[in-house]
């Protein structure tokens, strides 16, 4: 099915912003915005065949121009936190924008979610898609090197939204690109009754500032053990910090596309499987949502109104010699694929 493009508003600088709407044969619909390469909306059928919204977001561009916690965003140049907003690269200190206390979070003050991308619609093998590109200039938010980045969204007739990230650089630079969609598979209320399975027997513990300590610890015997399915509600009270916000070390081979999480919503029967080629995934239960943000259809997003599964290289890898390498070098290509696969119970 083809994609359609519609005007969504303007940036503060007066540039037009468009939504690219992808549809498939089962009635799924994904709306992707060229500002921030953001997934603005995703609709999927429930077990009765009713197609409904499954993400948190805004009806209007103004919501995305204001403060919000990365709803649907493409996050980069480095997703999650870099401790002290600094690191050593080939022996030289690199200083980044600090936007989370003393730390760097999700690409800095003006990350990839707050810039306009160049968009091109396409149709390929029965999938409707949009490819977004930009050049992140040398020095942006402190990062070294010009980074040529592309993010491609494609909606398939297998009820999968596939996101492919690709980047090259003319200087060594850390790269960690992800998508920060908040899902609520019921479309309303909180996600505490969603049942989650995460194939990860280890995680990366953090300090009070949510910076990894460098350890890789077993989940066994903790509320983070989702190797068998559990409702979020079951053990969330035992998690320090008001809910889940942890990087899981996935039990998979590096580079291969495999499951990061499977989430079921028992009432409407929607099932989401998240697949990734990356070694980790942040499971975040919207702990910092506090009811002040008014989103789509006037909904107030309170604590645990949505959850995120953010596939990623491990947080703070530029400062953690024990974590998988995250530096892209000239001549190399950074590739990451995420699949959001929908089914019903
Ligand atoms: C982080 C949270 C953060 C949220 C919104 C998640 O990826 O792990 O700590 O609050 O994004 O910024």
Is the pLDDT assigned to residue 322 strictly greater than 70? Answer: yes
Active site residue 310: yes
Closest ligand 1 atom to the C-alpha of 105? 12
Nearest Cα to Cα of residue 210 among 102, 341, 95: 102
Whole-prediction pTM:
0.97
Is the pLDDT assigned to residue 328 strictly greater than 80? Answer: yes
Sign for the CA dihedral angle at 289, 258, 219, 230 comes to: positive
Going by pLDDT thresholds of 50, 70 and 90, the confidence category of residue 56 is: very high
Closest ligand 1 atom to the C-alpha of 80? 7
Assign residue 212 a region: left if phi > 0, alpha if psi is -120 to 50, beta otherwise? beta
pLDDT tens digits for range 215-232: 999 999 999 999 999 999
Query: What spacing in Å lies between the alpha carbon of 245 and ligand 1's midpoint?
Result: 7
Domains in the chain (CATH in brackets) are: 3-344 (2.70.98.10)
Which residue's C-alpha comes closest to atom 12 of ligand 1? 69
Tell me the pLDDT of the chain averaged across its residues. Answer: 97
pLDDT tens digits for range 137-165: 999 999 999 999 999 999 999 999 999 99
Q: Is 247 in the pocket of ligand 1 (CB under 6 A)?
A: no
Of 140, 160, 265, 310, the active-site residue reads 310
Going by pLDDT thresholds of 50, 70 and 90, the confidence category of residue 126 is: confident
């Amino acid at each position: 099915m083809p994609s359609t493009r519609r005007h969504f508003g303007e940036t503060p600088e007066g540039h037009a912003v468009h939504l690219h709407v992808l549809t498939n044969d089962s009635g799924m619909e994904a709306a992707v915005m060229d500002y921030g390469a953001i997934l603005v909306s995703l609709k999927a059928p429930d077990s009765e065949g009713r197609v409904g919204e499954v993400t948190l977001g805004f009806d209007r561009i103004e919501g995305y121009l204001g403060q919000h916690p990365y709803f649907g965003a493409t996050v980069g140049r480095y997703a999650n936190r870099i401790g002290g907003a600094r690191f050593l690269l080939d022996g030289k200190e690199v200083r980044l924008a600090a936007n989370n206390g003393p730390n760097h979070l999700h690409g800095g003050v003006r990350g990839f979610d707050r810039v306009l991308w160049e968009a091109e619609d396409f149709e390929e093998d029965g999938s409707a898609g949009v490819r977004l590109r930009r050049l992140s200039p040398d020095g942006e938010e402190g990062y070294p090197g010009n980074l040529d980045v592309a993010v491609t969204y494609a909606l398939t007739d297998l009820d999968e939204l596939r996101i492919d990230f690709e980047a090259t650089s003319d200087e060594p630079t850390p790269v960690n690109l992800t998508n920060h969609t908040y899902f609520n598979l019921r479309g309303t209320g909180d996600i505490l009754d969603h049942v989650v399975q995460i194939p990860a027997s280890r995680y990366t513990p953090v300090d009070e500032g949510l910076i990894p300590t460098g350890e890789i610890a077993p989940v066994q015997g903790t509320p983070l053990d989702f190797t068998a399915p559990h409702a979020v509600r079951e053990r969330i009270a035992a998690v320090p910090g008001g809910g889940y916000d942890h990087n899981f070390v996935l039990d998979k081979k590096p580079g291969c596309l495999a499951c990061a999480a499977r989430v079921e919503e028992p009432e409407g029967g929607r099932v989401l499987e998240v697949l990734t080629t990356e070694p980790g995934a942040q499971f975040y239960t919207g702990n910092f949502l506090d009811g002040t943000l008014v989103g789509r259809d006037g909904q107030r997003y309170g604590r645990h109104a949505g959850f995120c599964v953010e596939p990623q290289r491990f947080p703070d890898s530029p400062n953690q010699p024990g974590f998988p390498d995250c530096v892209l070098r000239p001549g190399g290509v950074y590739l990451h694929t995420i699949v959001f696969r929908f089914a019903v119970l």
